């Protein structure tokens, strides 16, 4: 994940964090069953397998063989699940003046339905472990199991479920490319160096008049002890969507993940989705007190640190949001 330009609020609400019960992240199956889900059962084992499949290609850094092979895999997989799939992009320059062929992967379910929901995640890997505790690792790539692959894996499992049971709305999945190739915060911050795929998409979406009821971006949704707080951009741009998603997450047994705590401004793909006129939110492992996922942009962002419970909490909640929409 790119992160990016981060502005911490002055009112950190530290007391709220002290009150959070972070010790039990397992799914309370009795609570979940009691709610009477209308969505299919999200399979965490399947999502984990999709995470592993991406990691097995190696770091999906733009311009590499691993990046191309993973793109081919994702396109085939989504088509297998019955989606209309296309690749969107052009030659795109990064902040360090390198040029790559941008490859956003767009998958459409039920294209004739006017009511649509947009679900997104980035599939590229950052080329540098610039947050690693060992400076010798800063120039090395990392597996990007959570920061990239986890959100894509959740989308693949949702797509598999949608093929088997159609919701009452159309669903558009977009996998962003060149999301995580931005200028680090210890350099001169520039939000436009991040999220190049969603910036490109937003321009095209505006030109084509694309519409959706709302958008949900997934970023780092597979780490252990995950806490998804409500970031400033999401709260300001799409408060009703924030409330909908967090309320459903709490209702079906995932209150320890979907914590109703405000956090600061995070420049992520949802910023550009909102600029395209789609009220959009970010589900991301972050809080103002401890920051991003502990292995963010380090060598330890690997498969060993992926938690199926977090994949389940994320996927089941978003599926339930989709299937409750009429």
Share of the chain above pLDDT 90, in %: 87
Cα separation of 296 and 269, whole Å? Answer: 17
Quick: pLDDT tens for 42-100. Answer: 999 999 999 999 999 999 999 999 999 999 999 999 999 999 999 999 999 999 999 99
Q: What are phi and psi of 148, to 5 degrees?
A: 140, -70
pLDDT band at 35 (very low <50, low <70, confident <90, very high): low
Quick: pLDDT tens for 194-223. Answer: 999 999 999 999 999 999 999 999 999 999
> Cα dihedral sign for 306, 52, 104, 107?
negative
Quick: pLDDT tens for 181-198. Answer: 999 865 555 789 999 999
Alpha helices in the chain (DSSP H): 14-19, 29-35, 44-56, 65-80, 151-164, 196-208, 232-237, 239-251, 269-275, 308-324
More confident residue, 185 or 317: 317
Per-residue pLDDT, 25:
41
Global pTM value: 0.91
Per-residue pLDDT, 191:
86
Domain boundaries, the chain: 6-324
pLDDT at 22 over 90: no
Per-residue pLDDT, 208:
94
Report the topology of domain 6-324.
Aminopeptidase (3.40.630)
Quick: pLDDT tens for 281-299. Answer: 999 999 999 999 999 999 9
Q: CA-based angle 41:44:50, to the nearest 5?
A: 120
> What are the structure tokens assigned to 290, written together?
């401890």
Cα separation of 281 and 321, whole Å? Answer: 13
pLDDT band at 36 (very low <50, low <70, confident <90, very high): confident
Average pLDDT over residues 108-121: 98
> What are the structure tokens assigned to 139, written together?
């120039």
Lowest mean pLDDT among 23-27, 127-131, 229-233: 23-27
Residues contacting 145, CB < 8 A, separation 6+: 51, 54, 55, 222, 301, 302, 303, 305, 306
Kind and range of the H or E run holding 118: strand 116-122
Beta strands 228-230 and 258-262, pairing class: parallel
């Amino acid at each position: 994940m790119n992160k990016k330009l981060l502005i911490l609020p002055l009112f950190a609400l530290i007391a709220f964090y002290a009150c959070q019960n972070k010790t039990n992240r397992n799914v309370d199956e009795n609570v979940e069953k009691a709610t009477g889900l209308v969505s299919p059962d999200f399979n965490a084992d399947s999502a984990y397998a999709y995470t592993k499949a991406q990691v097995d290609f190696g770091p999906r850094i733009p311009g590499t063989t691993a990046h191309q092979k993973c793109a081919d895999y994702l396109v085939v997989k989504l088509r297998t699940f019955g989606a209309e799939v296309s690749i969107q992009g052009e030659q795109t320059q990064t902040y360090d003046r390198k040029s790559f062929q941008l490859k956003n992967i767009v998958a459409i379910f039920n294209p004739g339905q006017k009511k649509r929901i947009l679900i997104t995640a980035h599939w590229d890997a950052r080329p540098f472990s610039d947050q690693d505790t060992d400076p010798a690792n800063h120039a090395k790539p990392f597996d990007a199991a959570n920061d990239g692959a986890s959100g894509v894996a959740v989308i693949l499992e949702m797509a598999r479920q949608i093929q088997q049971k159609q919701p009452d709305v159309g669903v558009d999945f977009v996998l962003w490319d060149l999301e995580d190739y931005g200028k680090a915060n210890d350099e001169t911050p520039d939000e436009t160096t991040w999220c190049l795929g969603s910036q490109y998409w937003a321009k095209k979406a505006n030109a084509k008049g694309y519409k959706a009821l709302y958008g949900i971006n997934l970023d780092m949704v597979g780490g252990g002890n995950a806490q998804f707080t409500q970031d400033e951009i999401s709260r300001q741009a799409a408060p009703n969507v924030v409330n909908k998603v967090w309320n459903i997450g709490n209702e079906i047994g995932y209150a320890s993940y979907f914590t109703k705590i405000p956090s600061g401004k995070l420049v992520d793909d949802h910023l550009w989705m909102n600029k395209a006129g789609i009220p959009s939110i970010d589900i991301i492992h972050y809080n103002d007190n401890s920051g991003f996922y502990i292995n963010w942009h380090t060598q330890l962002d690997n498969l060993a640190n992926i938690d199926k419970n977090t994949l389940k909490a994320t996927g089941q909640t978003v599926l339930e949001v989709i299937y409750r929409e009429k």
